[in-house]
Amino acid sequence: MLMTNIETIPGKSIVACHGVVSGSTVRAKHVGRDIMASLKNIVGGELKGYTELLEESRRDAIARMRAQAEQLGANAIVNVRFSTSSVAAGAAEIYVYGTAVTVA
Amino acid sequence: MAVEYRPGLPTRNDNVSHRHPLREFVLLMSALAFAAAGVFWTLGLAVDAAVGHMSAGTEAAVEDAFRRAGPPMSPADPVRQAQLQRLADSLLACARRARPAQVDLAGDSNPNAIALPGGRIIVMSGLLEHVGSENGLAFVLAHEIAHLQHRDHLRAMGRGIVLVTIAAMLGSTGPDVVGMLGPVNQAQLLHHSRERERAADLAALDILACRYGHAGGATEFFRALQRNERKAPARTAHYFDSHPAIDSRIADIERAIRERGYGAGPLTPIALPAAPASRH
Amino acid sequence: MEALIFWAGLVAVGFFAGRWNESRHYRSIEAREREWLQLPVTSAKEPLGDADAIVRAELVSGSVVVSVDYFKRMLAALRGIVGGRVQSYETLLDRARREATLRLKESCRGADQIVNLRLETASISTGEGGGVGSVEVIAYATALYRAPQRAA
């Protein structure tokens, strides 16, 4: 499944458009990561636990969007955009959406 | 170049999980309750180890700190308080306790006695109406002295700190979780408290038997409370959460009397002027 | 003990009422999505088809605020300790987004297509430390209108 966040897939032409598809996950961090983060607040540095968490969420959300596009019969997604928000204490939502198209 | 629009709707919603929420709820709750209970139990063992191995010097320092912080009390009845103090002092040798406990008599109609950190025992005057002999009174004082000897207040404080720490860690995610899982740890705390009460009862029995040569009068106070309970159950109900039920306490003491081979014997009456009529 | 029973009651009410509300909302969403399927929506900037035939472009939006029920909030709090996917909020956000998009479509009946769809999510807190009361989603896009076809 090809994905870009520009209007087209370079080198290919869009034949059909299937509408907007999206994928989202809401993930929470556990207390272990919270405690590590508090310690890092003192010494500074990258919060590897949180970085991993966000990467997992991102992969998960993109996978869900891809699955939805496949259900509609598309083979590429253009104009992909991300959006995050915090919806619960200690949990963040990653939401990705784009236009599912068929390219040739 | 025209792009064709091919409308469609996905049949399967991939953006939600299809597990039943109740199953997740039950799983998470039981896992967390189990974990909270496990942490509390393990740290409780650590508290017991620390308290058990605490040197007498450390304990004395802690007790002195509490003694200074305790409330000063003017005696409600100096004569009876002095007699209570003499009775408590006479039990020290059998309790194998070096530091004397300071006994204060409070003018309160509740039949209760408390051991405070700092080596203080407060006896409510209501309790004196529920004992008929010196032996019965000595058992109550011996029970409180046993608490001091076992360092039960330090154990309770240590476990209290553990409870608050666990609550703080859980509470960092929001106010709801503490309400859910708090009762688990509180139930453990109360269970521990009941166990310590039983241990103090049995130690008091040994002190009584050592002092008087027999175990007569050991259950006098509890039987009086039992009669009270039958007359007005609600009044003494509050006593039961952190303490074992009266009936089971009496049963445990009587079983211990049989097992340890203590006999009954003559009860020494309390040699005192009659109690003043209305103190409460 | 009474506090525990009260809490269990709240959770039960939240669970049953929440599930009923949610299934009702999903039925409504699915019916309206089928109804509005013929109106193309893209997140791209370029319109499908001939750009010259477009006579009017208009900014349209749709928004919705959906509330959390007590059972969902409990589950999210438990997940906050253990970590992992908060499945109780996933359905909430899914509903809110689809509802916002539908309201956007419903606000421009007669449009030919909708381009450059964007969605923003915000959480509105009740004020208690960390507890979320509701989720707001706003969807906005440009609606394009062609000249009406005249019968030849």
pLDDT recorded at residue B240: 45
Nearest to C121 among A17, A28, A95 (CB): A95
Q: Which of B11, B13, B15, B16 is the best mutation test for C, with the most CBs of C within 10 A? A: B16
Q: Is A17 on the interface with C (CB under 8 A)?
A: yes
- Amino acid symbol at C68: V
Nearest to B6 among A18, A24, A34 (CB): A18
CB C41 within 8 A of CB C113: yes
Hey, which residues 19-58 in chain B have their CB within 8 Å of chain C? Answer: 19, 21-22, 24-25, 28-29, 31-32
Q: What is the complex's ipTM, to 2 decimals? A: 0.84
State the sign of the Cα–Cα–Cα–Cα dihedral B74, B80, B83, B85: negative
pLDDT recorded at residue B69: 63
Give B29-71 as a 3 state SS string: HHHHHHHHHHHHHHHHHHHHHHHHCCCHHHHHHHHHHHHHHCC
Domains of chain A: 2-103 (3.30.110.70)
φ, ψ for residue B233, nearest 5 deg: -60, -40
What are the tokens at A22? Answer: 């999206």
Subunit contact C123:A89, Cβ cutoff 8 A: no
pLDDT recorded at residue B278: 47
What are the tokens at A76? Answer: 């590429």
Under DSSP, the state recorded for B12 is S
Going from N- to C-terminal start, the domains of chain B cover 28-260
pLDDT band at B272 (very low <50, low <70, confident <90, very high): low
pLDDT recorded at residue B235: 46
Enumerate neighbours of C (3 or more CB pairs within 8 A): A, B
Q: Is C45 on the interface with B (CB under 8 A)?
A: no
Q: Is A81 on the interface with C (CB under 8 A)?
A: yes
* Residue linked to tokens 């003043």: B276
- Residue A54: HSE in the Cβ half-sphere, 13 Å Cα cutoff: 10
pLDDT recorded at residue A24: 93
Q: Does domain C2-146 have CATH number 3.30.110.70?
A: yes
Burial class (CB in 10 A: 0-12, 13-18, 19+), C79: buried
End-to-end CA distance of chain A: 13
State the sign of the Cα–Cα–Cα–Cα dihedral B56, B61, B67, B70: negative
Query: What's the rounded Cα separation, in Å, for the pair B63 and B28?
Result: 43
Rounded alpha-carbon distances, angstroms, from residue C87 to B205, B261, C72, C99, C101: 58, 64, 9, 19, 22
Residues of chain B in contact with residue A32, where contact means CB-CB under 8 angstroms, are none
Pairing label, strands B120-124, C84-85: unpaired
pLDDT per residue rounded down to tens, chain C (152 residues): 677 788 888 888 989 999 999 999 999 999 999 999 999 999 988 888 888 888 999 999 999 999 888 888 888 888 888 888 888 889 989 999 999 999 999 999 889 999 999 999 988 765 455 556 788 999 999 999 988 765 44
Q: How far is A48 from chain C (nearest CA, A)?
A: 15
CB A20 within 8 A of CB C42: yes
- Amino acid symbol at B141: L
The torsion region of residue B233 among left (phi > 0), alpha (psi -120 to 50) and beta comes to alpha
Residues of chain B in contact with residue C48, where contact means CB-CB under 8 angstroms, are 2-3, 5
* Residue linked to tokens 């038997």: B209
Hey, which residues 5-44 in chain B have their CB within 8 Å of chain A? Answer: 5-12, 14-15
Q: Is C134 on the interface with B (CB under 8 A)?
A: no
Subunit contact A73:B8, Cβ cutoff 8 A: yes
Judge whether residue B237 has pLDDT over 50: no
Subunit contact C87:B29, Cβ cutoff 8 A: no
Judge whether residue B234 has pLDDT over 60: no
Going from N- to C-terminal start, the domains of chain C cover 2-146
Q: Which of A12, A18, A103 is the best mutation test for B, with the most CBs of B within 10 A? A: A18
Regarding pTM above 0.90, the answer is no
Q: Is A41 on the interface with C (CB under 8 A)?
A: no
Judge whether residue A88 has pLDDT over 80: no
pLDDT recorded at residue C97: 94
pLDDT recorded at residue C96: 93
| Burial state string for B92-127 with b = 16 or more CB within 10 A and e = fewer than 16 | bebbebeeebbbbbbebeebbbebbbbbbbbbbbbb
Dihedral angle of Cα C4, C10, C14, C16, to the nearest 10 degrees: 90
